[in-house]
Amino acid sequence: MPDSSVIDLAGTPGSPGQAAGPARVVHGPDDFARVRPGDVLVCRFTEPTWTALFGVVSAVVTETGGVLSHAAIVAREHGIPAVLAVPGAMAALPDGVTITVDGGAGRVTG
């Protein structure tokens, strides 16, 4: 029987590179203060209000978006990996669990 604690999610590659860190599930601006340096931002999508977080996090995982989305463009500008359009990422990635984001391959593992 496979280990149900293994995380292996696929999405759209948005910004190349690999990074690991604790998942930080963010529902909106009220959660921004919970984000710490090195966290992996996990959210539904980003918009300009979220841009400051890209200077803090090590990677980004979103449930929606594509290579021309806000998350992808800003992640590339900051040189951090991003995987987009990962269905159910906010539920599948428990807050605080260490994950690895491969922005070139579009994979999130842990």
Q: How many CA atoms, within 13 angstroms, populate the side-chain half-sphere of residue 78?
A: 20
Question: Which single residue is written with the structure tokens 């500008």?
Answer: 77
95/92 Cα distance (integer angstroms): 9
**Residue 70 designated active-site:** yes
Catalytically annotated residue among 18, 64, 70, 78 = 70
Q: Which residue has the tokens 């979220």?
A: 50
**Of 7, 6, 93, which is closest to residue 60 (Cα–Cα)?**
93
Cβ atoms < 10 Å from Cβ of 6 = 8
Residue type, position 12, single letter: T
- Residues acting as catalytic residues: 70
